[in-house]
């Protein structure tokens, strides 16, 4: 596919990009409405493959379900489509019934296909996404109970997970919030007590909570989290993010994750803007450009963003995952908004052209998990699964649609 559109200026690019992303958001929402409800056991299916074949007895993850709730709620808040709101109601009711722990608080990591407890560990990452989803659902539904649940989960995380002496959030616990040996989100992660990924999404959750509950102590938590990124997570020498630390903030990894780098930029700026912290905003705008420029190292000539780089081995992981592309679109658009440098907008449009050509499944719907280094579709990955969700791609569409609406160019 030969694409020339990215050579044009913002006044031409932005209306076309917005129209295409409005259409794509509708495609994503329609796919999840059609293929993912579990009509037998309630809620949503735990796994669907690339051919839209469901694994009927697949476990159901708290992260997937929270992201479903957020996505349908956010889509409704943008487009006011009642069908999306009905799906949000379905997701909310299932989470409240099966994932929220009535005895110890927090959310279970996994339930089975019937909703029975399967893995009851308390991963802070999962609680953060549940806060994020509940706050977005509250905005959609006006249901006070959802707001109260989000606030309650916030207080619980601060009480059980926040490291008051050295700041930061500990990664995971047993069901009753005791120390746990295996802290990892997945098998690929380092088994460390503080991680960039969890802190980033705690920040994202708290930012959304502040929108509906501008609490003074919550504001301090957000400021402290932003400080953690400047003090620990952002490497000032490379402008890449450090992924893993021990509880004393000793660095435990050197892997570069291009998707997380660019995702962090706009989420940090959004947090500072929501709490109206002008001093942090100025510092973050500067770091947004620095990290965006460092992320350009991971761009292929076709517009796709590679997955990771291992400095110790000088090894580039040339897979191109769907979520990395979604974050690239928002992060580089954010860099363009800050700088008005055309090169960042060109990256966005060229990356979107890559997504349309290679990542969108034009036959069966939704986005493929990603491409292998040789350009083929990654085999055996989910279309719907514990980690494959409507959050990154719908959020990218929603973010850029909104940002174009507020742009002074058109």
Sequence-separated (6 or more) residues with CB below 8 Å from residue 395: 70, 71, 74, 326, 330
Q: Of 2-6, 177-181, 332-336, give the lowest mean pLDDT range.
A: 2-6
Question: For residue 191, is it within any domain?
Answer: yes
CATH number for the domain spanning 108: value is 1.50.10.10
Q: Give the mean pLDDT of 268-293.
A: 97
CA distances from 151 to 141, 142, 299, 361 (A): 16, 15, 39, 38
Is pLDDT above 90 for 263? yes
Question: For residue 32, is it within any domain?
Answer: yes
In this prediction, residue 5 carries a pLDDT of 44
Q: Of 131-135, 160-164, 184-188, 205-209, give the lowest mean pLDDT range.
A: 184-188
Q: Copy the structure tokens of residue 57.
A: 């007895």
Mean pLDDT of the chain: 96
Distance CA 168, CA 116 (A): 32
Closest CA to 326 of 257, 392, 258: 392
In this prediction, residue 353 carries a pLDDT of 98
Distance CA 76, CA 29 (A): 10
- Number of other CB atoms surrounding residue 319 within 10 Å: 16
In this prediction, residue 284 carries a pLDDT of 98
The band of 4, judged by pLDDT with boundaries at 50, 70 and 90, is: very low
Distance CA 141, CA 130 (A): 16
| DSSP class of 100 | B
Question: For residue 80, is it within any domain?
Answer: yes
Question: For residue 69, is it within any domain?
Answer: yes
The band of 113, judged by pLDDT with boundaries at 50, 70 and 90, is: very high
The band of 274, judged by pLDDT with boundaries at 50, 70 and 90, is: very high
Question: For residue 44, is it within any domain?
Answer: yes
Question: For residue 291, is it within any domain?
Answer: yes
Domain count, the chain: 1
What is the distance in angstroms between the CA of the first residue and the CA of the last residue of the chain?
28
Q: What is the pLDDT of residues 125-144, one digit of tens each?
A: 999 999 999 999 999 999 99
Distance CA 107, CA 167 (A): 23
Of all residues in the chain, what percent are helix, strand and coil, respectively (each to 5)? 55, 10, 35
Q: Helix, strand or coil for residue 169?
A: strand
Taking the model in full, what pTM does it have? Answer: 0.97
Is pLDDT above 70 for 3? no
Is pLDDT above 50 for 410? no
Is pLDDT above 90 for 1? no
In this prediction, residue 188 carries a pLDDT of 86
Q: Which has more pLDDT, 256 or 408?
A: 256
Domain range for 208 is 5-405
Nearest-10 crossing angle of helices 196-212, 258-274: 30
Q: What is the pLDDT of residues 321-362, one digit of tens each?
A: 999 999 999 999 999 999 999 999 999 999 999 999 999 999
Question: For residue 85, is it within any domain?
Answer: yes
Q: What angle do CA 366, 369, 371 make, to 5 degrees?
A: 120
Answer yes or no: are the C-beta atoms of 256 and 233 closer than 8 Å.
no
The band of 407, judged by pLDDT with boundaries at 50, 70 and 90, is: confident
Question: For residue 410, is it within any domain?
Answer: no
In this prediction, residue 7 carries a pLDDT of 61
In this prediction, residue 406 carries a pLDDT of 86
In this prediction, residue 408 carries a pLDDT of 62
Answer yes or no: are the C-beta atoms of 361 and 383 closer than 8 Å.
yes
Q: What is the pLDDT of residues 47-106, one digit of tens each?
A: 999 999 999 899 999 999 999 999 999 999 999 999 999 999 999 999 999 999 999 999
Is pLDDT above 60 for 257? yes
Q: Helix, strand or coil for residue 224?
A: helix
Map tokens 């056991």 to a residue.
Answer: 41
């Amino acid at each position: 596919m030969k694409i020339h559109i990215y050579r044009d200026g913002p006044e031409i690019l932005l209306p076309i990009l917005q129209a295409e992303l409005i259409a794509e958001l509708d495609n994503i929402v329609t796919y999840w409405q059609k293929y993912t409800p579990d009509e037998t056991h309630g809620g949503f299916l735990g796994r669907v493959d690339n051919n839209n074949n469901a694994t009927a007895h697949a476990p159901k993850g708290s992260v997937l379900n929270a992201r479903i709730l957020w996505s349908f709620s956010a889509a409704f808040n943008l487009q006011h489509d009642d069908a999306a709101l009905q799906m949000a109601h379905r997701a909310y009711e299932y989470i409240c019934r099966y994932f929220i722990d009535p005895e110890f608080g927090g959310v279970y990591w996994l339930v089975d296909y019937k909703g029975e407890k399967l893995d009851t560990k308390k991963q802070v990452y999962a609680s953060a996404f549940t806060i994020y989803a509940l706050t977005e659902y509250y905005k959609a539904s006006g249901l006070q109970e959802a707001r109260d649940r989000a606030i309650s989960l916030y207080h619980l995380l601060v009480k059980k997970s926040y490291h008051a002496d050295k700041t930061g959030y500990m990664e995971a616990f047993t069901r009753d919030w005791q120390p746990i040996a295996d802290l990892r989100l997945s098998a690929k992660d380092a088994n460390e007590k503080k991680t960039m990924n969890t802190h980033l999404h705690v920040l994202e959750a708290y930012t959304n909570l502040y929108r509906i509950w501008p609490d003074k102590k919550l504001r301090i938590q957000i400021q402290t989290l932003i400080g953690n990124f400047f003090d620990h997570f952002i490497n000032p020498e490379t402008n890449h993010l450090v992924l893993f630390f021990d509880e004393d903030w000793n660095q435990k990894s050197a892997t570069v994750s291009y998707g997380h780098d660019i995702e962090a930029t706009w989420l940090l700026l959004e947090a500072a803007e929501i709490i109206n912290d002008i001093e942090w905003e100025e510092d973050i705008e500067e770091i947004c450009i620095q990290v965006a420029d460092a992320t350009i190292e991971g761009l292929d000539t076709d517009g796709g963003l590679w997955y990771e780089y291992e400095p110790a081995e000088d090894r580039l992981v040339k897979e191109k995952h769907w979520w990395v592309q979604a974050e690239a679109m928002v992060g580089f658009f954010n860099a363009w908004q800050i700088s008005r440098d055309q090169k960042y907008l060109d990256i966005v449009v060229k990356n979107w052209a890559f997504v349309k050509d290679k990542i969108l499944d034009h036959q069966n719907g939704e986005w493929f998990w990603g491409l292998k280094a040789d350009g083929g579709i990654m085999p055996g990955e989910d279309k719907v699964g514990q980690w494959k969700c409507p959050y990154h791609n719908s959020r990218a569409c929603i973010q850029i649609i909104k940002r174009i609406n507020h742009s002074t160019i058109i």
